[in-house]
Structure 1
Amino acid sequence: MALRHIDGKSQTYHLIAYDRKGREQRDEDGSVASAAALKAIAAPGVTDVFVLSHGWQGDYQDAISQYDRWVGAANPDTDDDDIRPVVVGLHWPSKAWSNRELTDTPSGLLGDEPSEDSVTVDQAVDEFAAQLGDDPQTREALRTVLTYAASVPPDQDASAGDALPADVSEAYRSLVSRLGAAGDDGGLLSGGWDPDVVFDESVTAAADDGLLGGGVFSRLREAVLTPLRQLTFWSGKNHAREFGEGAAADFVRKIMRAADVRIHLMGHSFGTIVMAGAVRGPGEHPTPPPRPVNSLFLVQGAVSLWAFTEDAPSAFGGGRGYFADVLRPEFVSGPVVVTRSSWDYAVGKFYPLAVKLAGQFLLGDDEAPKYGGIGTFGIKGVGGAVELPALAKGARTDPGFAPGKLYNIDASGVISHLDGASGAHNDVGHSELTWIAWNAAKAGR
């Protein structure tokens, strides 16, 4: 269904689905959702287009659920505001692993069927292979890791004396070599990534602070799977960039060719990489879009806090952030707004673990780390960035957005509902955030 109507709401949005290679998928009725969206955008009277991207761990139904919450949170549009919007949500396959419990119970005629709340080793191999590579060597390595993990009782505690079996450690190294990770991986896999060290760090982190809010890595099975989730995290991060610079960038530029409308982009989690990539486009020296995007809203971003700087601190190796071009006026002419929340455990605790050096390499009095996400620290290293007052519940007023400015805002008072290991990472269906996006869009006119 190209145009989705939210139950009990007046708001609608177009949903465009893509496969892992960035190819648009036809709807069930055979229609092309992007064509329907572009036709709606080119209709007389339309002034603004809002393009949304979900983040990691999202399948098609997850995308619908998230976009229903985002778009349905509030409707700031009024008859006298001179804005006639069209909203488009992009779905890219980002479901990295199942949240169901891993079991070694066989399925089929010779074994009991697993419960709906569990996933067999065979099923888990299929899920991870879809993300990491569907070839015999990758499948063999995955099976080695997952078979051992399934043999560990789910409630068995990890201890300092535990270690990965040699065949499991070797299987992880095989996965790394097949992924081909190199120096552009944000520090995760370059420089001698070691699954044994990752395992040890996950156990230590659990003992130190109950990582992810519930001490989840105090369980041996979870510690065994931590290196696999790091690899999948890297793969998902890279996929988000590729999708953003490819299919998403193409769609944004199709909008520019189809109609003289203002364009506003919003991304959540890895969707912030998608939207930044959609603005930037591909290549080492990106070409600006035909005209600038009018506003960019990055919500709880799982992207480096230094990714947008022109000059990273020399203590961290220096260099220019990958998305530094995005903040140039020929790429985004209006405001760029970034939320952060202390209740977002996925970005605040898992992200730095996943990029390897949690809690280390602090920078001066600001305590901005080498590895950390903008969903925890905001964007760092950009001159003239504005720190807005903390977002209050019920906030609707324009905080004074201006074109060409970067704004960081602490949204901990709103993005605060804890839900499992990720904390409040997915707690983004709030009217306050809708009003931020709306006011940023008005400033970008």
Structure 2
Amino acid sequence: MKLPYAEVEFDKEGAIVTPEQVEEARKLIGDERATDVLVISHGWNNTHGDARALYDRLIGSIVAIRSGVEGATKRRFVVVGVLWPSIQWAAPDNDGAGASVGGSAANLEAELARQVPEPELRAKLLALVPELETSSAARRDFVTLLRSELPDGATDDDDPDSAPQALRDADPESVLQAAAGADNDDAAPAAVGGAASIDPAGFPAPDETGGGAGFSFGDILEGARNVLNATTYFTMKDRAGVVGERGIAKLLEKLQHKNGHVRLHLVGHSFGGRAITAAALATSAPVSSMSLLQAAYSHYGMAQGWDGAEKNGVFWKVPKKIDGPVIITFTKNDKAVGLAYPVASRIARQIGAGLGDADDRYGGIGRNGALKTPAALATVPLQSVGGHYAFQRGKVSSLNSDAFVKSHGDVTGKEVAYAVLSAVMAAS
């Protein structure tokens, strides 16, 4: 790291794995006489090494452009890297991670090995793979086993960021058929706003012992892989929220306890964006700025009345809790966030030409920015280094990053670093 660095590891329940790490971080803040602390969370990285590499690249870019941001060289920064147990998805088109598709048993088996850490469950799922194309019973058992891993919580009727009810309890054949079409660009256009219902009664009835009847969008293995990815997506999304609410929120309070003068700035990539947003909502510590880099949660996460009536996003109170600006990078180039929500849409029996975009109920904030959010300013482009931002305290700025962010993991360039540091300084 090119700035003083400490790290704190959490388990999947948000508990601190090594309490001494918190004391080391607090001591570093004091020893460095820090004025600002950047608390950074990774997303669906498979190893701690992946997370550290991400932090190193982003901080390197911040250091490289620091002299170009007025007042930044006078600040004394410390970085606290958050580590938590996430699962890495397969990469569509080498795009970091996401709801990838593929038709072979080998690909599905590789994803099961990657995404299902519990040995007994993994063995049961792997044993079913050879029968998925020929046995309705195997398909039913496969979906049922994956459902056992879904977190408890709200359904999509209450929160567009939650697992669709259909993923939890619809007929397994219907779920697999819908999932098999999740990446199909030739889907029939929607009548209104990118969503028209699929009538499950219209599915051809599968034979109990064989055949792939009804799987018209793609093959059975493709559907199974998408259901696996969707299950992983909602499981990791939930875990990120738990780590943020129970872990990072308390960490922020501990960091400030003996360093009351220090400014806390939250930076999160992917599911790390959800983790830090959950932390900001739960913590009693003041947060000076928040930067969401290709965050993986609903574009209605900070919305009010997203349904056109009384329903608010789970994080709708967050902008008012941030002393400085909230910034969001978003881009159509993000295939991970851009495809995760269409998978959910398909499984919820929705089909449309614009899956994942701003008209899709299941669109992601890393794909479309913050929608129906009263605190949001007008969308502006991500600037080159030296460009002008008009960030405001307590306001949300969605930055169209098409020109500079080319994939889900492409969040460590100088342009992104410049936006993060500009938000930090706007919080002064």
TM tier relative to shorter chain: 0.7 to 0.9
CA positional deviation for 1:436 = 0.7
Letter of the 1:147 partner, please give it. A
Q: Distance in 2 between matches of 1:124 and 1:169?
A: 17
Q: Aligned pair 1:38/2:26, yes or no?
A: yes
- Name the structure 2 match of 1:53: 41
| Residue type at the aligned position of 2:36 | D
2:139–2:173: 8 Å Cα contact kept in structure 1?
no
Matched residues, percent identical?
27
3-state secondary structure, aligned to 1:400: coil
Q: Give how far 1:224 is off.
A: 2.2
Letter in 2 for 1:405: K
Cα distance in 2 for partners of 1:409, 1:272 equals: 15
CA shift in 2, pair 1:12/1:58, >3 Å? farther
- When residues 150 and 255 of structure 1 are mapped into structure 2, their CA distance, relative to the original with a 3 A threshold, is farther
**d(CA) in 1 for partners of 2:111, 2:270:** 26
Rounded to whole Å, the distance in 2 between the matches of 1:86 and 1:407 is 25
For residue 24 of structure 1, report the CA deviation from its aligned partner. Answer: 2.9
| Shift, 1:234, TM fit | 1.1
Moved more, 195-204 or 118-127: 118-127
Deviations 1:244-297 (A, max 9, x none): 00111111111221211111101111111100011111xxxxxx614x311011
Partner in structure 2 of residue 352 of structure 1: 342
Q: Greater shift after overlay, 233-242 or 186-195?
A: 186-195
Q: How do residues 11-30 of structure 1 correspond to structure 2 at under 5 angstroms?
A: 11-26=3-18
The DSSP-based 3-state class of the residue aligned with 2:425 is helix
The alpha-carbon distance between structure 1 residues 183 and 399, as it changes in their structure 2 partners (threshold 3 A), is: same
Question: Are 1:190 and 2:159 an aligned pair?
Answer: no
Kept in 1, the 8 Å contact 2:330–2:402? The answer is: yes
| 1:343 matches 2:338 | no
Does 168-177 or 180-189 show the bigger shift?
Answer: 180-189
TM-score, structure 1 as length reference: 0.74
Partner of 1:280: 281
1:332 has 2:322 as partner: yes
1:187, distance to aligned residue in structure 2 (A) = 4.3
Partner residue in 1 for 2:197: none
Instruction: Tell me the equivalent position of 2:418.
Output: 435
Matched residue, 2:264: 263
Equivalent residues of 1:352, 1:373 under 8 A apart: no
What letter is aligned with 1:274? Answer: A
User: Between Structure 1 and Structure 2, how many residues are aligned?
Assistant: 371
Could you tell me whether the CA contact under 8 Å between 2:40 and 2:80 is conserved in 1?
Answer: yes
Q: Write the letter of the residue equivalent to 2:284.
A: P
Q: Which residue of 1 aligns with 2:209?
A: none
Deviation at 1:353, TM superposition (A): 1.2
- Given residue 221 of structure 1, which amino acid in structure 2 is its aligned partner? L
Q: Is 1:68 aligned to residue 69 of structure 2?
A: no
CA distance 1:414–1:164, shift in 2 (3 Å):
farther
Q: How has the CA–CA distance of structure 1 residues 193 and 323 changed in structure 2, closer, same or farther, with 3 Å as cutoff?
A: farther
What's the Cα RMSD here?
3.3
Q: Does 1:304 align with 2:298?
A: yes
1:133-173 per-residue CA deviation (whole Å, 9 max, x = no partner) reads x7xxxx35x43432233678xxxxxxxxx676322323422
Superposed displacement of residue 326, structure 1: 0.7
Determine helix, strand or coil for the equivalent of 1:368: coil
Q: Deviations over 1:324-364 (max 9, x none)?
A: 11111xx211101111111101111223313545665989x
For the 8 Å contact 1:270–1:303, the answer to whether it is kept is yes
**2:141 corresponds to which letter in structure 1?**
E
The SS at the match of 2:241 is helix
User: Does residue 1:86 correspond to 2:69, yes or no?
Assistant: no
Q: How does 1:374-385 map to 2 (within 5 A)?
A: 374-385=365-376
Residue 51 of structure 1 aligns to which amino acid in structure 2? V
Deviations 1:201-256 (A, max 9, x none): 2333444359xxxxxx9665343222122111111111000000011111111122
Structure 1 equivalent of residue 381 of structure 2: 390
The Cα shift of 1:16 comes to 2.1
Tell me which residue corresponds to 2:360: 369
Between 1 and 2, higher relative CO (CA 8 Å, sep ≥ 6) is seen in 2
1:114 is aligned to none
Deviation at 1:401, TM superposition (A): 1.4
Structure 2 unaligned residues grouped into runs of 5+: 92-105, 188-216
Residue of 168, 172, 194 corresponding to 2:143: 172
Q: Is the 8 A contact 2:139 2:172 kept in 1?
A: no
TM-score, normalising length: structure 2: 0.77
SS for the counterpart of 1:387 is: coil
Aligned to 1:147: 127
SS class of match (2:417): helix
**Contact kept? 2:32, 2:76, Cα under 8 Å:** no
Show the counterpart of 1:108.
none
The aligned amino acid for 1:279 is A
CA drift of 1:379 comes to 0.7
Indicate the SS of the match to 1:16.
strand
Secondary structure (helix, strand or coil) at the match of 1:21 reads coil
Distance of 1:334 and 1:312 partners within structure 2: 24
